[in-house]
Structure 1
Amino acid sequence: MTTRPVTPRPTQRRQGFGWPVYAWSLWDWGSAAFNAVITTFVFTVYITDADLFGPGASQKLGWALAAAGALIAVCAPVAGLRSDRSGRRTFWLAVNTMVVVVISASLFLVAPDPSNLWLGLVLLAVGNIFFELASVNYYAMLNGISTPRTIGRISGLGWGLGYIGGIVLLLVIYFGLISPEVGLFGITSDNGMDVRVAMLICAGWTLLFSLPVIFTIRDDRSSRGTLPRLGVVGSYRLLLSSVRNVWRQDHHTVFFLGASAIFRDGLAGVFTFGGVVAATVFGFDGGEVIVFGVAANLVAGVATIAFGALDDRLGPKRVIVGSLVAMILAGIGVFLLHDHGAVVFWSLGLVLCIFVGPAQSASRTFLARLIPKGKEGELFGLYATTGRAVSFLAPASFALAISVGAAVTGRSAADAEHWGILGIVAVLSVGLLLLLPVRVKVRSESALHEPMPA
């Protein structure tokens, strides 16, 4: 039986917040299990332990994730385009999310033995691919559950919950399984069971908090079957044609994709290398790094939710520019005052974290305000692709800045670690400079003006 999509009443839409918004936001909360706990804090640390998986695991992890990034860059825009044309955005969000759930649970099979290294790396790489494909469809839903007056707050709510959800789950896993000698249910670190069971918990967490959006936001069946099916080659041809059309219609959308790719990589670098700087420059031990990481993500999550209102009031470009300027100044402060101890990193480091989330969320709403109706998946696919294309910038700039610092000061690279901060600042600065000329132009045919079936 075919169910006709039901659209919200106008008064509900003006209010902007209802169950569909919270259901959508919970996907961010649940997905933190993969991108925060598995990819950042727990499984990648486990799989690169030379005592468990042999020497050279870190380098192999880099190659595996690089290969995944290349496949994402190639597949994401076409996957978004095809979900747009089929009208099955929720369906593909569900499919890709379920693959992530299965991959997360399968990581339980990666026992600590060098023979299992490539099993773990391949599973992690495949999980990254399907996580990004799910994110494309998830981002593309934003216009349908928001209005021009609420999109900033709704995006900020989702992104903020992602930060906080990751920290809640990390605390549960760390203090319930990994930190104690005997954790919950009598689990110990023998045979890597603490980490392996944590992967099952991550799978359950992602599944549980993905179900609300999957069962709440319905696909628009009215457009299904109205467009001819395309093969893979035809999809790429249509994609290239669409990119040319976007360039002809509004250069600034393309300019924004380029600028955001650069400053988003700088934003990612803040968290990627924050713990490294805390440990190597300011002498934090492992426990202190985790405590700072919890505080940093909590601050970022709360700030992102709060700054969503400024996005709606002032516009996303002003939020991004203000956030980048504040982060650049704080980063320079960390570099200049690094000799003054941990208090500098606690204060200025948390300032950096306050503005990371708002800049990321406002970047998402900036593009959403530009996208014509029916192009959401395609444009957010390009958004993912451009980000992946320059994902080497922050790591390369961090490493290069340390080399420059060592050459300038005549010290060893280990004694010039604080110069790496300037590498991240440089990436943020380039992204800011490229963003400044971009004009804000909301398309009259934007999907923001049409409700999504819910």
Structure 2
Amino acid sequence: MSEVRNSKRIWGWWWFDWANQPYNTLLLTFIFAPYFAASVAPDPVTGQALWGWMNFAAGVMIALFAPILGAIADNTGPKRPWIMFWSLLYFIGAWALWWAVPGADSSTIFWILVAFGVGMVGLEYGIIFTNAILPTLGSKAEIGRISGSGWAFGYLGGLAALVVMLLFLAENEQGVTLIGLAPLFGLEAAAREGTRSVGPFTALWYLVFIIPFFLWVREPKRQKPVSRDVVRAGLRELGHTLKSLPGQSSLLAYLLSSTFYRDALNGIYAFGGIYAAGVLGWSIIQIGVFGILAASVGAAGCWFGGRFDRRFGPKPVIIVCILVLITVCAIIISTDRSMILFFPVEAASNAPDILFYFCGCMIGAAGGAVQAASRTMMVRQANPARMTEAFGLYALSGKALSFMAPGLIALATTVTGSQRLGVSPLIGLFLIGLVLLLWVKPEGENPHAWEPEHAA
């Protein structure tokens, strides 16, 4: 009976990934971001700049408060009430994107960016608290597989949501969807209502599919009483953790490493759709098809990555994935409409498109697998008694320098005058992350201290 109960907890935890993935797939990467830059902002260059500043501001907000909230949460008992609150922010932020009308005035653009940032904060904080539940789902040998399978399930959720959007809602320049239909529910194509509906669609998707998480994921009973002054206790323990970091060389090296390679990966995600639209001239529909392919291969990559994680540990998986992503960046830098790998091609050739689709598959597979393995690695490096705080620090490491990728891309684009060469700094960020992994111990500082808790 206990095995059945824990199996339901695992499935409930996986449903969280399924529910939240459309914010990344539909809004951040493949549908809303290129739509905003191309149709809502005054021009694509301004749109890319505004999008970068919004991501920067949301990243600062997450970085500043994630470790504090995690430390407080470790002193307040159940995490589910916190996750409910972050879910509310997610829902409100996503729904409000409906008002992102084409050619919006500056005031509307400002509030649309604020709404997206609110939803992003809800998404990221929710992930911190649900990631902290991961060690309670299985043994140390099993959490790699559980994490990888959960990320794969999330990719499938993002894929399913993207397919629905492209087939029935998002319209192209001719006002029809991928299969030639007018947007459903009488949505007006001329006002881009089909594409704008991606916000409410993402919000409703989350509202429906988060239900199994709250029904099935019960938390372990606390072994120590909840502190009365939870804020002071949380901040005191966070301060102790931060002071102890220099003495925890493996954890510190891992946090620094993940700062760089995860920022580079986020740079690929945040600007991939904008890049495809600008360099290759792709439409929203084409970018969506690219997303379907990337998510499909990504789900398989996460699943296989979880199995390799279980057998070899997360560190080798992370290293291989970073090398794949470096290779992808090198291919992108050397390819545009006129050339492939610096070799010239005919202007009408579709070879650059095919190669970029291939790159999308590699980004999906390696990107998903490295994120799944990264949270497994965090579990191995962290203090089991301070897991939410640890994932708060993990979020901090992912956001503390989140301005690097967009800032360096903007600088390189400005200096070179080339959107293609603008992504070249990502290679440097990946390399720094790879080098820092040399100081990361695969099993953490104290491999024998880690023991999973289980819900009663």
Q: Same fold (TM over 0.5)?
A: yes
User: Residue 380 of structure 1 corresponds to which residue in structure 2?
Assistant: 391
The Cα shift of 1:353 comes to 3.3
Within a 5 Å distance, the mapping from 1:2-151 to structure 2 comes to: 9=2, 18-49=7-38, 52=40, 54=42, 56=46, 58-109=48-99, 111=101, 113-114=104-105, 115-151=107-143
Task: Give, as a single letter, the amino acid of the residue that structure 1 aligns with 2:215.
Answer: F
Asked whether the 8 Å contact 2:93–2:120 carries over to 1, the reply is no
TM-superposed CA distance for 1:325, in Å, is 2.0
Decide which moves more: 386-395 or 330-339. Answer: 330-339
TM-score by length of 1: 0.85
For 2:265 and 2:74, locate their aligned partners in 1 and report how far apart those are by CA, in whole Å.
29
Contact 1:87/1:224 (8 A) holds in 2: no
Deviations 1:320-374 (A, max 9, x none): 1122123323433454515353243333553343212111111110011122222
Q: Report if the CA contact (8 A) 1:334-1:349 is conserved.
A: no
Contact in 2 for aligned 1:96/1:134 (Cα 8 Å): yes
**Match of 2:348?**
none
Q: Partner of 1:178: helix, strand, or coil?
A: coil
Corresponding position: 1:363 with 2:374: yes
CA distance in 1, matches of 2:363, 2:14: 24
Structure 2 partner of 1:351: 362
Structure 2-normalised TM-score?
0.85
Matched, 1:187 2:198: no
CA distance in structure 1 between the partners assigned to 2:254 and 2:379 by the alignment: 12
Check the 8 A contact 1:87/1:223 in 2, yes or no. no
d(CA) in 2 for partners of 1:177, 1:75: 36
Among candidates 425, 428, 434, match of residue 427 of structure 2: 425
1:12 to 1:245, Cα distance in 2 relative to 1, 3 A: farther
Query: 2:302, 2:372 within 8 Å by CA — same for their partners in 1?
Result: yes
Shift of 1:277: 4.5
CA displacement at 1:427 relative to structure 2 = 1.4
Q: Secondary structure at the match of 2:74?
A: helix
CA distance in 2, matches of 1:175, 1:189: 14
1:235-254 correspondence runs (5 A): 235-248=234-247, 250-254=248-252
Aligned to 1:409: none
Q: Distance in 2 between matches of 1:418 and 1:61?
A: 18
Aligned to 2:440: 438
Q: What does 1:271-282 align with in structure 2 at a 5 Å threshold?
A: 271-281=269-279
Alpha-carbon distance in structure 1 between the residues aligned to 2:195 and 2:330? 37
Query: CA–CA distance in 2 between the matches of 1:213 and 1:125?
Result: 24
- Report deviation, 1:282: 5.0
Cα 1:280–1:193 shift into 2, 3 Å? closer
Flag the 1:154–1:263 CA change in 2: closer, same or farther, 3 A.
same
In 1: Cα distance, 2:72 partner to 2:392 partner: 10
How far off is 1:185 after superposition?
A: 1.9
CA change 1:43–1:172 in 2 (3 A) is same
C-alpha distance in 1 between matches for 2:135 and 2:325: 28
Measure the CA separation in 1 of the matches of 2:305 and 2:227. 40
CA distance in 2, matches of 1:386, 1:435: 14
After TM superposition, the structure 1 stretch with the greater mean CA deviation from structure 2, 314-323 or 33-42, is 33-42
List per-residue Cα deviations over 1:73-103 (Å, max 9, x = no partner): 1111111111111121122112211331233
CA distance in 2, matches of 1:197, 1:283: 23
Q: 2:219 maps to what in 1?
A: 219
Structure 2 contact 383–390 (Cα < 8 Å) conserved: no
- SS of 1:374's equivalent in the other structure is helix
Q: Which of the pair is proportionally richer in helix? A: 1
Aligned equivalents of 1:353 and 1:68: distance in 2?
Answer: 24
Letter in 1 for 2:130: Y
Between the two proteins, the alignment pairs up a number of residues equal to: 430
Task: Confirm or deny: 8 A CA contact 1:397 1:427 kept in the other structure.
Answer: no
Gap change, CA 1:344 and 1:49, over 3 Å in 2: closer
Instruction: Show CA shifts across 1:137-162 (max 9, x none).
Output: 01111111121121111111111222
Q: Which residue of 2 aligns with 1:3?
A: none
Percent identical? 28
1:210 to 1:314, Cα distance in 2 relative to 1, 3 A = same
Q: How far off is 1:203 after superposition?
A: 1.4
Distance 1:370 1:12, change over 3 A: farther
Task: Tell me the amino acid that sits aligned with residue 367 of structure 1.
Answer: M
Q: Which moved more, 1:319-328 or 1:331-340?
A: 331-340
Task: Please report how far the alpha carbon of residue 265 of structure 1 lies from its aligned counterpart in structure 2 after TM superposition.
Answer: 1.3
Return closer, same or farther for 1:280/1:127 CA change in 2, 3 Å cut-off.
Answer: closer
For the aligned residue pairs, the C-alpha RMSD in angstroms reads 2.8
Q: Distance in 2 between matches of 1:234 and 1:18?
A: 34
